[in-house]
Amino acid sequence: MTTSSPPFPSFVLLLLVLLALTVNANGETRSHHKVNISSLLPRKVCSNSKDVISDVTRLRLVHRHGPCSPAMRRRQSDFHAEILARDQLRVGFLRQRIAAAELGGGGGTSPASAGAAPSTKIPARSGESVSAGDYIVTVGLGTPPTAQTLFVDTGSDVTWVQCRPCAISCHRQLDQLFAPASSATYANVTCASAACADLDVSGCSGGTCLYGVAYGDGSQSVGFYSSDALALTPADVVPRFLFGCGQDNEGLFGRAAGILGLGGGRPSLVAQTMNKYNGVFGYCLPASASDAGYLAFGKSGITNPTVKYTNMLTDAKTPTFYFLNLTGISVSGQRLSILPAVFAKAGTLIDSGTVITRLPPAAYTSLRSAFRQGMSRYKNKRAPAVSILDTCYDPTGRGELKLPAVALQFAGDVSVNLAPEGIVYAVNRSRICLAFAANDGDGDVGILGNVQQRTFGVIYDVPKKVIGFAAGGC
């Protein structure tokens, strides 16, 4: 057991991370959804999620702003502006990482360069939001396990938590700070280890490996790279799990303890548990913030009879990200006249942390036009735009809406028919908006955001290089 760490370096480690027809589940053609407006809005109480399947590791996953969340703020304000503003920062950060990788910039920094000033940094203050998404799970870390509430992020590799003694800075969190000295299985990772070399950003202090991660809003975590027991559930423990023990943490919002990294890179939980779970994980994002979904690992209990698989595309230059081949969009049962090349130019990644799906400008314009046509009965109920959402309606006085059905087509003849909660974003009872946005240019990567993934069982099988969508997952 290693319970002491070398003095934390006085310099701040730089954190420059590289950046067909619409049918329902029964197979019948569907052109519209009749949806009760109240079902699009979160309730004040938490609904029960589906029972946990006994033969699969399944964690309860909730939206941080909803009543199911242990980290929900007591004073609920209009947080949608915050969510959408943070979403823009994350999207910009993802673009920067991908662009830097394409140019061969790598995006990391060597220990020798630690101490130089970053060229660009968005200021972050403790208590502000980190661009890591809106869904959280609670795990146990250490022996005996200490509960830690973490953001789930498929766009990050390194898992990290705030650790005592917090030599520089820690934000306020829901759980007690993880105390390495209190764990019988904690150990520091050495600078000479292969695990240290796998980090995009690393340093060394007294022979102990240092990690550094940064996010799109300027948030950061720096500390000792370590290992300890990770209890995904009380009965399912990952021994010697590699994670960051944060000593300088700035910008995380929502009282969470850190990040659970589910990306495709070597430091991620997915890669570390390849032998245990065979590189298979999945999740279901609930229909609203007042419902609970799940995060699951392993093949048992994840596969679903309704699952449709499409190819998972990866890029050696950006191994963290999961890409797929979006080929078309249908609205009201009619496929839009968008050439597949429009989507293929920059590609499309699937991301749990991005909220609103981003499309190439031409694709978004076509979708918006068709959606507005399908909503023509409400043309006198148009409402002002909200941030990046430019097609909004005021349903005040109505009990239900008739929404045009929207389906996304992927390679392999896979059509994903979005749930109503995945078509529109409910800001409040008087503002319902189309939950898509346009990229700035044709060369910007498309992103399948978490709103469009709601209610689906989304399954990642990394060795087989496929991503599956199962309707009615939660």
Residues labelled as active-site residues = 153, 351
31 touches 405 (CB < 8 A): yes
Contacts of 186 (CB under 8 A, 6+ apart): 1, 2, 3, 142, 180, 226, 227, 228
The pairing of beta strand 258-261 with beta strand 280-284? unpaired
CB 463 within 8 A of CB 275: no
Asked if the bond preceding 360 is cis, omega within 30° of 0, the reply is no
| Total Cβ atoms within 10 A of residue 340 | 13
- Helix, strand, coil fractions of the chain, as percent rounded to 5: 15, 35, 50
| Total number of residues shown for the chain | 474
**What CA–CA distance (Å, rounded) separates 247 from 252?**
13
The answer to whether 255 and 173 have CB atoms below 8 angstroms apart is yes
Residue with tokens 């996304």: 408
Q: How far is CA 273 from CA 179, 237, 266, 268, 445, in A?
A: 24, 11, 10, 9, 29
Let me know: does 236 contact 168? Beta carbons within 8 Å: no
137 burial level (CB within 10 Å; 0-12, 13-18, 19+)? buried
377: left (phi over 0), alpha (psi -120 to 50) or beta: alpha
The runs of H, that is alpha helices, within 55-130 are: 80-102
Which tokens belong to 74?
Answer: 């007591």
| Residue 473: Cβ-neighbour burial (10 angstroms; 0-12, 13-18, 19+) | buried
Nearest-5° Cα angle at 366, 360 to 371: 120
